[in-house]
Structure 1
């Protein structure tokens, strides 16, 4: 633990905070929609937030500490969106059974070691191109948000440009501070309605409905794998972290199994928030960026324990400020991965196809575009290799 204290830095701690802020604020509404469709009461919703916060906190903190890499986990936002449209005829207990089944599939895939082998088949330029496709709209959101709120986003972007020139290590930190100050100066900001409430667990015994398990549980596993875990591994590989990903998937599967009865519907590797904690803006030394993962774990614990209070605080910040903060924090990652994707001319066209497919948002058979981006990129690469071999 002495090494942890000596490796600690403000940039890494703030990166962890930003990851949690963006992770919660950007998609907690979708989680609540899924909870509503599943038939959750208000107390059950608080249990969901506590289970998700503590689960993500434990996996981020301990996995980052153990592997000395910024391992960032998240709830499955696409999974929550799937649940919000697929659980209309399920009882709450049957929904819990679906969560546990999807977690069990993740655990089995992790223990089998197949996920590691799958990721070794994907060339780095293809993985980088897919990651750029996943993050592309976050970069664009800086300027679409600026159109909606020119003052806050414009000042944040100006602070970033100046700080990047003078003190680049703390550029994102200063952007966060500027954004918070600008929000607090707005006359309509009201903190009085935020509830002061500590979270609590509420156990619900799972019920097993075969048609729901196959019709919702399998798609939940596939969506989480293709849209969260594969991009999450791409982030790690793009930043040269060779953490054994099958082990990570096993731990997220175990966490889902343990916390599903309390509302922890799906845990997985993060992509967007992981990119924030893995880049140079977090720390110039890749060996010390694991502090960002541990910090994210602590902030997730606090968020989960505070329950409704934290959700209320996040709701105060405008969507434009959150979107701009995410985009600015990811600019360096987008640039670095774009360079890595197109640098090798022999793989450039395949990487371009991967990027275009991913950024298009297409979904075949309910499987996310990140998965198809990799598939189409590998097909192009394979055809080109056949042509070159003749």
Structure 2
């Protein structure tokens, strides 16, 4: 046991063992769980990325390259991790990260953002190989990180509401379908139901737009990175913290809840490698993903926990295929009216926002004042010295906590009260 702990990358059964046992592990439940996870990741979250690309006035080719990077490498991460560890460690990309980038692209040029994507990957990689994650998280408490995420992403929730006023019939039907699906079935993801009903409503009302590229295949257009200090502070640091503190942390918690022993260092290292490689193609980060890991590791993927890694393999193949054919799919998606994209993106963020608020403001977690400061600073969308609000939210939250929330107070808050 002790010997295993000394490995900076945890050993696993190996890809050959994963491939050998894969045929007997694939069944209806593992395949359906992998499909559901892929549908979730390729619907609402893809619209968030496309919306971010629109905020930065990216060309269709740059948008295609972004999707190719995050879905292609996200799928590859799933295949490598699932087969090597025979565990449902599922790759995708940072959905909150895409939302953060959307705000930053109104301030920074895309080549600066691409440089920041690569730098974020390097940060995550270094955290993985040096084992610094624990120290960073002790210095920057999780409630403050989660409050920053909640404040930065709350605009997606309000955007879904304001979209109703712009396109009431289409968006109203979309929102209603989402909550009815959540109430009536657990088989179909609510965001998929919402998207399908939204598409039907768009067709019925004749609200489709016209994509500039029609339905022709769009080739990816790669962007040379430019490295700047401002983009490092405003994009790279918050993005790296999101990958480690939100995506990886959530995936680790999910796997531990299902009685797995997740390879924490390896998950961080491959998230860093995925960040660098995706950045080179113009994508913001390919990494271990919490929501997709939750679906593939749940009992939806079958009773045999040892075989659930097959769900991640299915998910990885579908993700990679989506990335490869993004050039054909993006022009079709861009024909959707903007209010529908905004509404579906906002609905897709509900669970992320709930997780962020619950993690930030659970009394037992402590750091409540610092978390509140981080929340309101992130919501303000303030920019100081060219650096956007998420960075200043982390700084302000941490400073306020150090000033007013003494360690003894935090410990007292975090200790359950007895009657």
Further displaced range: 191-200 or 374-383: 191-200
**1:15-56 deviation line (CA, Å, top 9, x unaligned):** 4323233333333365588797xxx9x878765653444223
Question: Against the structure 1 CA distance between its residues 251 and 11, is the aligned structure 2 distance closer, same or farther, given a 3 Å change threshold?
Answer: closer
Corresponding residue of 1:344: 363
- What secondary structure sits across from 1:162 in the alignment? helix
What is the CA-CA distance between 1:154 and the residue it aligns to? 1.4
**1:196-224 deviation line (CA, Å, top 9, x unaligned):** 4385798x9x89xxxx5454774553353
| Matches for 1:188-203 after TM superposition, within 5 Å | 188-189=207-208, 194-197=214-217
Q: Match for 2:339 among 308, 312, 320?
A: 320
| Distance in 2 separating the partners of 1:107 and 1:124 | 20
Report if aligned partners of 1:197, 1:309 keep a CA contact under 8 Å in 2. Answer: yes
| Matches for 1:226-241 after TM superposition, within 5 Å | 226=241, 229-233=244-248, 235-236=250-251
What is the CA-CA distance between 1:354 and the residue it aligns to? 3.2
Report if aligned partners of 1:128, 1:337 keep a CA contact under 8 Å in 2. Answer: yes
Corresponding residue of 1:361: 381
**1:323-352 deviation line (CA, Å, top 9, x unaligned):** 322333443453455344334267243433
| Distance in 2 separating the partners of 1:151 and 1:292 | 37
* Gap runs ≥5 in structure 2: 1-21, 413-419
**1:101-156 deviation line (CA, Å, top 9, x unaligned):** 66445433432222343135554544443443344222222211212221122122
**1:288-331 deviation line (CA, Å, top 9, x unaligned):** 99888656544432232124211112112222223322333443
Report if aligned partners of 1:341, 1:351 keep a CA contact under 8 Å in 2. Answer: yes
| Matches for 1:1-390 after TM superposition, within 5 Å | 1=22, 2-3=24-25, 5=27, 7-8=29-30, 10=32, 13-28=35-50, 31=53, 49-63=67-81, 66=85, 67-74=87-94, 77=98, 103-168=121-186, 170=188, 172=190, 173-189=192-208, 194-197=214-217, 213=227, 215=229, 218-219=232-233, 221-226=236-241, 229-233=244-248, 235-236=250-251, 243=262, 246-258=265-277, 263-264=281-282, 266-269=284-287, 274=289, 277=292, 297-335=316-354, 337-344=356-363, 347=366, 348-364=368-384, 367-382=387-402, 383-385=404-406, 388=409
| Distance in 2 separating the partners of 1:97 and 1:356 | 28
Report if aligned partners of 1:169, 1:281 keep a CA contact under 8 Å in 2. Answer: no
CA RMSD of aligned residues (A): 4.7
| Distance in 1 separating the partners of 2:311 and 2:338 | 24
Question: Against the structure 1 CA distance between its residues 6 and 331, is the aligned structure 2 distance closer, same or farther, given a 3 Å change threshold?
Answer: same
Taking structure 2 as the reference length, what is the TM-score of the superposition? 0.67
Question: Against the structure 1 CA distance between its residues 214 and 247, is the aligned structure 2 distance closer, same or farther, given a 3 Å change threshold?
Answer: farther
Report if aligned partners of 2:153, 2:353 keep a CA contact under 8 Å in 1. Answer: yes
| Distance in 1 separating the partners of 2:161 and 2:329 | 28
Question: Against the structure 1 CA distance between its residues 70 and 131, is the aligned structure 2 distance closer, same or farther, given a 3 Å change threshold?
Answer: farther
| Distance in 2 separating the partners of 1:161 and 1:45 | 30
Report if aligned partners of 2:30, 2:296 keep a CA contact under 8 Å in 1. Answer: no
Task: Report how many residues are paired.
Answer: 372
Question: Against the structure 1 CA distance between its residues 285 and 196, is the aligned structure 2 distance closer, same or farther, given a 3 Å change threshold?
Answer: same
Report if aligned partners of 1:142, 1:324 keep a CA contact under 8 Å in 2. Answer: yes
* Gap runs ≥5 in structure 1: none
| Distance in 1 separating the partners of 2:115 and 2:342 | 34
Report if aligned partners of 2:40, 2:189 keep a CA contact under 8 Å in 1. Answer: no
